[in-house]
Amino acid sequence: MLTVYGVYRSRASRNYWMVRELGIPFTSVPVIQARRVADPLAADAPLNTRSPNFLAINPMGLIPAIDDDGLVLTESLANNLYLARKYGGPLAPTDLSEDGQMGNWTMWAATEVEPNAVEIVLAYDDGIEDTPEGQARIAACTQSLAKAFAVLEAHLESCDYVVGNRFTVADLNLAEVFRYTMSQKALFDRHPRIKAWLGRCQSRPCFIAMMEERLKEPE
């Protein structure tokens, strides 16, 4: 049985979306971020990223983690690539070329998009998006993202999806990274193919179901 550790309001959302797309049984173990707990080491504290029981799963103290019949993996995007390869189906690579492309696009998103995308999210989380400091931070991140957006926009000129012109784990991984930038509407308006592609990804029933679970959790 596959176990996913982490709350939906975290990068675990990527893995929760993926297991729904694959249609495989799984157990969810909610693990909350320690920063959201007054005393994460208190005896009555909820399971969190500083709890000894969770640190035995992931010594880095980060979510998500998955345990697939004893195989523990702790990187959300890599978790999805593994699950696609293991369970197959249309989200998985059909050959070595597709496998390489899916891995390449996933690593590209993690290195070229996510760092700046996360900074934008944090500006909103910190409630500084309307302050001079926050606006400057968001503007700098948006400017840094321009090249990556242009690359994906050009790629989508000849296809509806990133690899194999069908929805795959590469689209799921990228869509979850690009979701962090959705507050920047002007950026998407300048890249209509990305906007349409993200809309296609997020219209999938499994994404909608994942988001419904996410919205049930406290912010």
Q: Which residue has the tokens 């969190």?
A: 48
Q: Are residues 42 and 124 in the same domain?
A: no
Angstrom CA distances, 85 to 9, 12, 92, 101, 166, stand at: 26, 19, 6, 13, 16
The 10s digit of each residue's pLDDT in 4-58 is 999 999 999 999 999 999 999 999 999 999 999 999 999 999 999 999 999 999 9
Report yes or no on whether pTM surpasses 0.75.
yes
Average pLDDT, the chain: 97
Of 37, 57, 90, the domain-final residue: 90
Q: State how many domains the chain has.
A: 2
Percent of the chain with pLDDT over 90: 99
Tell me, yes or no, whether 213 lies in a domain: no
Question: Can you tell me whether residue 210 is helix, strand or coil?
Answer: helix
- Taking the C-alpha atoms of residue 70 and residue 72, their distance in angstroms, rounded to an integer, is 6
Q: Are residues 77 and 124 in the same domain?
A: no
Of 43, 61, 90, the domain-final residue: 90
Tell me, yes or no, whether 61 lies in a domain: yes
Question: Can you tell me whether residue 72 is helix, strand or coil?
Answer: strand
Tell me, yes or no, whether 25 lies in a domain: yes
Q: Are residues 78 and 137 in the same domain?
A: no
Angstrom CA distances, 39 to 42, 64, 147, 171, stand at: 5, 21, 42, 38
Read off the CATH number of the domain in which 59 is found.
Answer: 3.40.30.10
Q: Are residues 6 and 82 in the same domain?
A: yes
Q: What's the rounded mean pLDDT across residues 194-211? A: 98
Q: Are residues 76 and 125 in the same domain?
A: no
Tell me, yes or no, whether 214 lies in a domain: no
Question: Can you tell me whether residue 208 is helix, strand or coil?
Answer: helix
The candidate with the shortest Cα–Cα distance to 92, out of 22, 177, 26, 23, is 22
pLDDT at 154: 98
Q: Are residues 108 and 16 in the same domain?
A: no
DSSP conformation class of 46: P
**For residues 159 and 193, is the Cβ–Cβ distance under 8 A?**
no
Q: Are residues 154 and 106 in the same domain?
A: yes
DSSP conformation class of 180: G
**For residues 4 and 64, is the Cβ–Cβ distance under 8 A?**
yes
The 10s digit of each residue's pLDDT in 64-81 is 999 999 999 999 999 999
Tell me, yes or no, whether 65 lies in a domain: yes
pLDDT at 219: 84
Cite the DSSP H helix spans in 39-129.
Answer: 52-55, 76-87, 96-108, 114-125
Of 90, 122, 145, the domain-final residue: 90
Tell me, yes or no, whether 23 lies in a domain: yes
| 143, burial (CB in 10 Å: exposed 0-12, middle 13-18, buried 19+) | exposed
**By residue range, what is the domain housing residue 73?**
2-90
Q: Are residues 197 and 115 in the same domain?
A: yes
Tell me, yes or no, whether 146 lies in a domain: yes
Strands 71-73 and 65-68, by their bridges, are: antiparallel
Q: Are residues 45 and 128 in the same domain?
A: no
Q: Are residues 73 and 158 in the same domain?
A: no
pLDDT at 50: 97
The 10s digit of each residue's pLDDT in 108-160 is 999 999 999 999 999 999 999 999 999 999 999 999 999 999 999 999 999 99
Q: Are residues 104 and 165 in the same domain?
A: yes
